Amino acid sequence: MSDLELTVDDRTLEAEWLEDNPDLRGALVDVLPVEGQAARWGDELYFDASLDGQPERTSEEVPVGTIAYWASGEAIALFWGPTPASTDETPKAAAPVAPLARIEDVRPLADLDGGATVQIEPVE
């Protein structure tokens, strides 16, 4: 069952929470819905979002579909493929990120051209 609904321009995606960073996840829940004009970096979108809380677990390499918080950049990032920092097909952030959720099906993002407006809201 999905926990989050994402709208990326005209695409609707669903995501499930991860258990990696419960404090940050709670901070995101407190500010939902969030929306931003996202910039693109390879197969990553990121947009400004400030969350109260500290990451418990971070990583530069993340699985396809990861929604993560980049604390030093105060941004939420969506990963669906390689980025300029990747050495293979695995998504790699420019700096450590804290995974919060995972998009169930990233295929709708495959034909995304440039940046996008992203909205994340809870599934009721």
- N- to C-terminal Cα distance for the chain? 11
**CATH, residue 27:** 2.40.100.20
Q: Which amino acid is at 65?
A: G
Give the residue numbers spanning the domain of 45. Answer: 4-122
Per the structure, how many domains does the chain have?
1
Q: At 44, phi and psi to the nearest 5?
A: -140, 140
What pTM value is reported for the model? 0.96
Handedness of CA 82, 85, 90, 93 (dihedral sign): negative
For 30, 42, 44, 79, the CA distances from 60, given in Å and listed in that order, are 25, 15, 13, 11
pLDDT digits (tens, 9 = 90+) for 21-66: 999 999 999 999 999 999 999 999 999 999 998 899 999 999 999 9
